[in-house]
Amino acid sequence: MADPRSDSPDGDHGAAPRRSIAVISHPDAGKSTLTEALALHARAITEAGAVHGKGDRAGVVSDWLEMEQKRGISITSAALQFEFDGMVINLLDTPGHADFSEDTYRVLTAVDAAVMLLDAAKGLEPQTLKLFAVCRRRGIPVITFVNKWDRPGREALALVDELAERIDLHATPVTWPVGEAGDLQGLLDARHEHVTMYRRAPGGATLAEEEPLSREEATARFPDRMPDAVDSMGLLGEVDVETFLQGRTSPLLFGAALTNIGVRQLLEVVTTLAPAPGSRPDVTGEPRPVDGPFSGVVFKMQAGMDPKHRDHVAFLRVCSGVFRRGTVYTHAQSGRPFATKYAASVFGRERETVEDAYPGDVVGLVNATNLAVGDTLYDPDGPPVEFPPMPVFAPEHFLAARAADPGRSKQFRKGIAQLEQEGVVQVLVSEARGDGQPVLAAVGPLQFEVASFRMEHEFRAPIRTETLPYSVARLANDQDVEILAGTPGVEIAHRADGTRVALIRDIWRLRGLRRDKPDLELAPLLADAVED
């Protein structure tokens, strides 16, 4: 059988080459706008929307939740699949806000490369630094795109120096701006040694007109700017694929996503430099070859995508083999069969039935209520496989929730269970409060806003909440529970699987407890937790 990730479209099953990438950045750097521009350049959409749906323009396809459109921020990750230059691109837009880090980190388990977006005026920001560190730990190569170069900002070489000094990443230019930030005259292309001039489309809803100039023509037109651009680019060296894949260098591009400048070049870099899907290690560390039997991992659960039907969609990354709709696969966690009658390719909120999918593709499994984030499916005719669980964060914010209307308790319980299944919040039941007032646990308070909004608007079960005075959670065994009984500043709760958890006021209280009660164990809440 031919390798399904082959870059030849003539392999078995007619599989075109695949690239799977995520767009990551600090909030407000322009991720959703860039995602929209990439789809526009790939002709997947005919007109680019705008964050907030400004003017006569629609909202961006990747921010489809009502709350996202009202707030103008990405709250949940979104998948878009489209074709460009004979290649299938699986593009995942991610939330930038730190409160939604778990969603972003899960997405990074499902891609093979990332586009790191920098604001030309701000450079590396805190959340960008954290996300880049995750990419480095996971071995995900990073392409850097400096956005908003049509506005005043920092010097290009200063941004390059910052990458080297703060994250030890050497930038190798693919494009370089002719003109400083806020005075962009064109982009010098290192590959073709020409300059692309742009005539912006009104409002950025359609593609900007491009005019290529030879280096000589550009020098004649911009005698004061071209020498600096050529000299600066020459200082930094050429793109090297090997060191890029090792995470030591990053192809560097400049542009302005809102006006669709420099976006085509970014797409070309994704298709020519980003790696094809490769073997993925299972829970034992053994690699699952991409040309083996089908296997896939669920990295996201989402409900409410179709306002007419309250269905669940499990986002599954195909890891090996060929996914075929209608096939009954094995659910690794339960050992039970799982039918795939309702499978779709996803483009933001929109979806259409998909018959086959290949490594790197994202498949939406509709009404997949038996699946959860981190679950594995595999072909029962091949060797069993289970992939590692999704990374999670230890929660630092807690509140008790109850139904505002006791007559809506059934809807309340159903909604809370669904939010837990999707990973919107973690849910605990306090032994003192009972299951009528579950404890919601989160990385950041914005998660509670999302939970509250969805409980009211999707499940018609508004909630009342009480902020709890805790910031630390630890596993509590039988001995821990006995020792902590009646201790001020501590509350015992349990997860759905019965595991008990100690909620503790703060880290100093935890240290005091360990000092005063040396027999306490209080292990980390989750063995695979990501410490911030």
DSSP summary character for residue 160: H
User: Are the beta carbons of 252 and 146 closer than 8 angstroms?
Assistant: yes
Distances (CA, A) of 215 to 194, 218, 223, 224, 225: 5, 5, 11, 14, 12
Distance in angstroms (rounded) separating the CA atoms of residues 509 and 433: 22
Burial tier of 303 (Cβ tally within 10 Å: 0-12, 13-18, 19+): buried
Cα torsion angle, 74, 79, 83, 85, sign:
positive
In a 3-state reduction of DSSP, which class is residue 195? strand
Tokens of 46: 């005919």
The verdict on whether residue 94 carries a ligand-binding annotation is yes
Distance in angstroms (rounded) separating the CA atoms of residues 132 and 174: 20
Q: Which residue has the tokens 């230019």?
A: 173
Q: Enumerate the β-bridge partners of residue 93.
A: 23, 78
Closest CA to 296 of 338, 245, 346: 338
Cα three-residue angle 148-175-87, rounded to 5 degrees: 95
The verdict on whether residue 96 carries a ligand-binding annotation is yes
User: Are the beta carbons of 419 and 425 closer than 8 angstroms?
Assistant: yes
User: Are the beta carbons of 41 and 263 closer than 8 angstroms?
Assistant: yes
Per DSSP bridges, beta strands 362-366 and 323-324 are unpaired
User: Are the beta carbons of 222 and 185 closer than 8 angstroms?
Assistant: yes
Distance in angstroms (rounded) separating the CA atoms of residues 287 and 278: 9
Distance in angstroms (rounded) separating the CA atoms of residues 318 and 30: 28
User: Are the beta carbons of 265 and 189 closer than 8 angstroms?
Assistant: yes
The verdict on whether residue 93 carries a ligand-binding annotation is yes
Q: What is the 3-state secondary structure (H, E, C) of 262-304?
A: CHHHHHHHHHHHCCCCCCEECCCCCEECCCCCCEEEEEEEEEC
Closest CA to 23 of 129, 167, 145, 174: 145
The verdict on whether residue 95 carries a ligand-binding annotation is yes
Distance in angstroms (rounded) separating the CA atoms of residues 136 and 141: 7
Question: Annotated binding site for GTP, which residues?
Answer: 93-97
Question: Annotated binding site, which residues?
Answer: 93-97
